[in-house]
Amino acid sequence: MATQEREHTLFSLAQEGDRQAFEALAELYRPRLLGIIRSRMGEHLEIECDDVHQEVLMRAYESLARIEWRGEDALLAWFGTIAENVILNHARRQKRERKVPVDSGLAGAGTSPSTAMQRERRFARLQAALDTLDPEARRVVLMVRIEGMKLKDIAERVGRSPEAVRMLLRRSIQKLKDRLGETGSLHLPHDRRLEMREERNDEA
């Protein structure tokens, strides 16, 4: 009973905009939420579970004020619905990206000038948004999204706990989302990921 009361209290505080309360609530539900996400991923094995988890939490925080507290089972079911939508969006995005031929030029075979120009603009917007982050936050985002590193490996490299890295990543992606309007801009074509990876190697 005490646990349910604490969850209800955290939920109410989070609805009022208390991000720390939401993060505490998310941490309580983390094992079960990850289990829900994995069960709904099905055949979409190319999608990173951590990516889905981060986006589910961001969407949930934005929409929390619209729902009522009806217990943890109802809240987890709501998280599950968000997870299904996020997974489907990721799957559709990956399908579209696989259909676009990889080309390092502005307009190659199979890529129209307008599509290439949109890609360049998206890349420029992402670069500008990344530059607004502090150096450590930018480094963590690039290690996850560009290099594909796991959180535990990043934690060892930056000298933080995995949980601290997870929180830093969550806040950083939220800042990027606030500037970009949607997290899809973080999913770059393969050639641009290679380009940014080479830049990181040069910086190192």
pLDDT digits (tens, 9 = 90+) for 158-168: 788 888 888 88
Mean pLDDT over residues 38-62, rounded?
Answer: 78
**Which range among 106-115, 120-129, 159-168, 183-192 shows the weakest confidence by mean pLDDT?**
183-192
Instruction: Please report the pLDDT score of residue 46 as a whole number.
Output: 58
State the burial class of residue 53 (Cβ atoms within 10 Å of its Cβ: 0-12, 13-18, 19+).
buried
User: From CA 30, how far away is CA 23, in angstroms rounded?
Assistant: 10
Domain with CATH 1.10.1740.10 in the chain: 2-98
What secondary structure does DSSP assign to 112-157, as a single string? -HHHHHHHHHHHHHHHHHHTTS-HHHHHHHHHHHTS---HHHHHHH
Are residues 54 and 23 in contact, defined by beta-carbon separation less than 8 angstroms? no
**Per-residue confidence at 191, pLDDT binned at 50, 70, 90?**
very low
In the block, tokens 């099905």 appear at 42
User: From CA 184, how far away is CA 188, in angstroms rounded?
Assistant: 8
User: From CA 203, how far away is CA 107, in angstroms rounded?
Assistant: 29
Domain with CATH 1.10.10.10 in the chain: 111-203
Which CATH fold would you assign to the domain 2-98? Answer: Rna Polymerase Sigma Factor; Chain: A (1.10.1740)
Are residues 52 and 45 in contact, defined by beta-carbon separation less than 8 angstroms? no
CA neighbor of 50 nearest in space, from 17, 93, 86: 86
CA neighbor of 94 nearest in space, from 56, 46, 147: 46
Mean pLDDT over residues 184-197, rounded?
Answer: 48
Instruction: Please report the pLDDT score of residue 127 as a whole number.
Output: 72
Distance of alpha carbon 83 from its chain centroid, rounded? 12
Q: Is residue 95 pLDDT above 50, yes or no? A: yes
The CATH class of the 111-203 domain is mainly alpha
Are residues 25 and 11 in contact, defined by beta-carbon separation less than 8 angstroms? yes
Mean pLDDT over residues 67-71, rounded?
Answer: 90
Q: Is residue 194 pLDDT above 80, yes or no? A: no
Q: Is residue 179 pLDDT above 50, yes or no? A: yes
Instruction: Give me 4's structure tokens.
Output: 């349910």
State the burial class of residue 128 (Cβ atoms within 10 Å of its Cβ: 0-12, 13-18, 19+).
exposed
